[in-house]
């Protein structure tokens, strides 16, 4: 499998050595992935992950075969041999999964190369997939269902397959996201063109679990859609993790990326069900959404530290509130990760990292509370009302001791409470360092060790500074700080209209009629000669034009035309996409020799349903459908249409007002007799 190279947020290399994009990616097209031979740290990581995925797949096939033999045989010696082989296979599987877990814990590969010290974020690796050959299945279906020569559509099929191949190696920037989104949007057309409700295409979509490497496969296109959407979310996490959060633009980009990752995972959770792989189960996606929200909240804290450079009393209180809020959301993530359905699936390094961050930010909240009390001057009479208002909502429970007014104006009382907060901060710093030391993978992350050590030494230094030898009072237990934030994280759902796509198979005809769900009788070629009263039929609509009525005894009726027929050609000219006026002009331009038109009739009662719906729309005004993008030759995806894709069981959620819910095109012209 191919592994993606990468680009920096600004489009340049990030110092990892040759982050190469194919030249076509530098053009306006987003249909090219990264150079699979660019030996970057992340590409090597993806290569190793792909190799382990293949080995896990092989071992699981061996285990399945051995288990079948064990159940089938009655020979005692054979059972013993198979049982021994099973123990070897299970042992190998465990070692491979541990190796993959260590790869998934390589968070430092995805971090930025800035010299500034930032707490590492947790990114996700992309789901891997196998190559897929759709040439023969799609050609067969085009011949069988559409009655067209499948070989004439080889170019379109290969273009789609190239797009799928490219999306396996997206660059780690906006171009990579657009590539995934373009492929995802094309799946809407593929679904409607080639996946009828009662029949599957006969191909399997293979994807590997992002964290365990366990392979899954399904015939349902919904599995492909869900996996691509998962990778959109995962790519957002990688983009967020690599931002330089020591600068305001960098931290804003990180916030945006993690919010979009949360939106992708949340959308997946709400619109898909019965996922075949654990990484897309409801419990795992719920955990990922909460993890992304926590990382957004951490970035918000870092943003506040950048914006609030001053060290006044109210600023320090705000920093304490923000740190307490980060601790609060990471505690929730840790609880989620230790639940029964998630505990054995999530890498231990992730659970430990989240726990460490929870303790670390709790310590920071107490540290900033101590700074506000000990380093900031006592409130003046003018400042007192504002300080009282802020401090009365500061603690979860009010601290023991003197009244609030005395506390804020008496330096000694402020020092005592500040000392209590520092004592708690030091305890929490030490707890974070203890938990960190329990994980072998985290111990290798020098930057995390540096952050924890620096914060701990800073608190110890401040405690030594305010501790007096003559202090004979026992330092009390400081109450916790109330979690509060000035910027709540936002779950940003994917914007499917962001990337406009054209239906690659638009030559098959308007999707409203020529789709997998519709069936029609073979094309009929009818020769018409204009009579005294014209051809004897009524036309309505565009792309394709509908025969809305046939006059009894007229030329059209004698030739066998029926109400509900669609005109798809006039004198050999393809008219599937032709407008009403264009077809009328072709008919009017015929001479005495007459005209040959090709028509199709939808099977069952569908043709009559279409005609009835057209009449209903005409009677109520066709304004809604005048700008129907689906039935223009350059069809564009809109967000409403794309959102209908995300149903695991393929049930339609289309709105009655959606242009895609009406199986025919807009009619701007009035019905007319010809």
Instruction: Tell me the C-alpha distance between 624 and 630, whole Å.
Output: 13
Kindly indicate the confidence band of residue 330, based on its pLDDT and cuts at 50, 70 and 90: very high
Summary mean pLDDT of the chain:
79
Alpha helix stretches (DSSP H) within 170-247: 174-194, 221-241
pLDDT in tens, 364-380: 999 999 999 998 888 78
Q: Is the pLDDT of residue 626 over 50?
A: no
| Mean of pLDDT values over 629-635 | 37
Q: Which helix (H) or strand (E) holds 58?
A: helix 41-72
Q: Is the pLDDT of residue 633 over 60?
A: no
Give phi and psi for 215, each to the nearest 5: -80, 150
Kindly indicate the confidence band of residue 343, based on its pLDDT and cuts at 50, 70 and 90: confident
Q: Kindly report the number of other CB atoms within 10 A of residue 198's CB atom.
A: 6
Q: Kindly report the number of other CB atoms within 10 A of residue 626's CB atom.
A: 13
Query: Rounded to a whole number, what is the distance in angstroms from the first to the last CA of the chain?
Result: 60
pLDDT in tens, 252-308: 999 999 999 999 999 999 998 888 888 899 999 999 999 999 999 999 999 999 987
| Mean of pLDDT values over 387-403 | 85
pLDDT in tens, 80-90: 887 888 777 77
59-68, 226-235, 313-322: which has the minimum mean pLDDT? 59-68
Instruction: Tell me the C-alpha distance between 674 and 672, whole Å.
Output: 7
| Mean of pLDDT values over 450-473 | 85
Instruction: Tell me the C-alpha distance between 455 and 391, whole Å.
Output: 24
Share of the chain above pLDDT 70, in %: 78
Q: Is the pLDDT of residue 155 over 80?
A: yes
> For residue 57, what pLDDT is reported?
73
> For residue 97, what pLDDT is reported?
67
Kindly give, in sequence order, each residue whose CB lies less than 8 Å from that of residue 608, ignoring residues fewer than 6 positions away.
563, 564
Q: Is the pLDDT of residue 480 over 60?
A: yes
Q: What is the DSSP letter of 14?
A: -
pLDDT in tens, 555-575: 888 888 888 999 999 988 999
| Mean of pLDDT values over 97-103 | 65
Cα–Cα nearest to 55, from 212, 277, 219: 212
For helices 348-374 and 313-337, what crossing angle results, to 10°? Answer: 160
Give phi and psi for 463, each to the nearest 5: -65, -45
Instruction: Tell me the C-alpha distance between 85 and 176, whole Å.
Output: 43
Q: Is the pLDDT of residue 17 over 50?
A: no
Q: Is the pLDDT of residue 6 over 60?
A: no
| Mean of pLDDT values over 383-398 | 87
Greater confidence, 454 or 18?
A: 454
Instruction: Tell me the C-alpha distance between 186 and 193, whole Å.
Output: 11
**Strand segments (E) across 531-659:** 537-540, 545-550, 566-570, 573-574, 595-600
> For residue 111, what pLDDT is reported?
52
> For residue 269, what pLDDT is reported?
93
Burial of 670 per CB tally in 10 Å (0-12, 13-18, 19+): exposed
pTM listed for this prediction: 0.77
pLDDT in tens, 492-514: 999 988 899 999 999 999 998 99
Instruction: Tell me the C-alpha distance between 531 and 642, whole Å.
Output: 48
């Amino acid at each position: 499998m191919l592994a993606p190279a990468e680009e920096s947020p600004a489009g340049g290399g990030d110092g990892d050595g040759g982050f190469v994009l194919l030249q076509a990616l530098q053009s306006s097209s987003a249909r090219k992935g990264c150079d699979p031979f660019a030996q970057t740290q992340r590409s090597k990581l993806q290569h190793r992950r792909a190799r382990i995925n293949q080995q896990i797949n092989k071992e699981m096939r061996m285990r399945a075969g051995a288990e079948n033999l064990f159940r089938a045989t009655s020979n005692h010696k054979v059972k013993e041999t198979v049982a021994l082989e099973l123990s070897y296979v299970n042992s190998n599987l465990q070692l491979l999964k541990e190796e993959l877990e260590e790869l998934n814990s390589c968070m430092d590969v995805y971090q930025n190369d800035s010299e500034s010290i930032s707490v590492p974020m947790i990114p996700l690796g992309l789901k891997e997939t196998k190559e897929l050959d759709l040439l023969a299945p799609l050609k067969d279906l085009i011949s069988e269902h559409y009655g067209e020569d499948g070989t004439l559509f080889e170019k379109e099929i290969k273009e789609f397959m190239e797009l799928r191949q490219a999306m396996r190696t997206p660059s780690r920037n906006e171009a990579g996201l657009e590539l995934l989104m373009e492929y995802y949007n094309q799946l809407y057309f593929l679904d409607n063109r080639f996946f009828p409700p009662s029949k599957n295409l006969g191909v399997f979509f293979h994807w590997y679990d992002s964290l365990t490497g366990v392979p899954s496969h399904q015939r349902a296109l919904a599995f492909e859609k869900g996996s691509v959407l998962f990778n959109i979310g995962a790519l957002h996490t990688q983009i967020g993790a690599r931002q330089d959060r020591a600068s305001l633009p960098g931290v804003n980009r990180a916030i945006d990326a993690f919010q979009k990752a949360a939106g992708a995972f949340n959308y997946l959770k709400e619109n898909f069900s019965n996922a075949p792989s654990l990484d897309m189960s409801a419990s795992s996606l719920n955990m990922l959404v909460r993890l992304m929200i926590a990382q957004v909240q951490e970035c918000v804290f870092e943003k506040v530290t950048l914006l609030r450079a001053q060290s006044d009393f109210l600023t320090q209180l705000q920093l304490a509130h923000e740190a307490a809020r980060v601790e609060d959301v990471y505690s929730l993530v840790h609880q989620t990760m230790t639940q029964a359905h998630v505990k054995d699936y999530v890498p231990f390094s992730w659970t430990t990292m989240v726990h460490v961050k929870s303790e670390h930010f709790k310590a920071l909240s107490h540290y900033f509370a101590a700074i506000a009390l000990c380093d900031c001057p006592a409130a003046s009479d003018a400042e007192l009302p504002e300080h009282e208002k802020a401090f009365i909502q500061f603690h979860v429970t009010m601290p023991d001791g003197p009244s609030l007014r005395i506390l804020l104006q008496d330096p000694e009382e402020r020092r005592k409470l500040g000392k209590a907060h520092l004592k708690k901060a030091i305890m929490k710093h030490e707890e974070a360092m203890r938990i960190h030391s329990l994980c072998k993978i985290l111990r290798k992350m020098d930057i995390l060790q540096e952050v924890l050590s620096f914060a701990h030494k800073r608190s110890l230094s401040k405690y030594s500074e305010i501790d007096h030898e003559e202090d004979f009072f026992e330092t009390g237990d400081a109450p916790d700080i109330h979690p509060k934030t000035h910027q709540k994280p936002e779950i940003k759902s994917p914007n499917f209209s962001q990337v406009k796509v054209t239906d690659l198979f638009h030559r098959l005809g308007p999707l409203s009629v020529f789709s997998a769900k519709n069936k029609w009788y073979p094309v009929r070629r009818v020769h018409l000669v204009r009579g005294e009263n014209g051809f004897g039929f009524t036309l309505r609509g565009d792309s394709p034009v509908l025969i809305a009525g046939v006059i009894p005894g007229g030329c059209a009726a004698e030739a066998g035309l029926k109400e509900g027929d669609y005109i798809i050609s006039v004198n050999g000219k393809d008219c599937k996409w032709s407008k009403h006026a264009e077809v009328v002009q072709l008919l009017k331009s015929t001479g005495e020799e007459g005209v040959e038109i090709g028509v199709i009739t939808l099977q069952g009662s569908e043709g009559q349903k279409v005609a009835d719906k057209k009449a209903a729309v005409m009677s109520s005004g066709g304004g809604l459908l005048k700008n129907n993008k689906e039935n223009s030759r350059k069809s564009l995806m809109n967000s409403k249409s794309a959102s209908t894709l995300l149903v695991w069981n393929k049930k339609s959620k289309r709105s009655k007002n959606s242009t895609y819910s009406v199986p025919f095109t807009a009619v701007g012209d009035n019905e007319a007799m010809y």
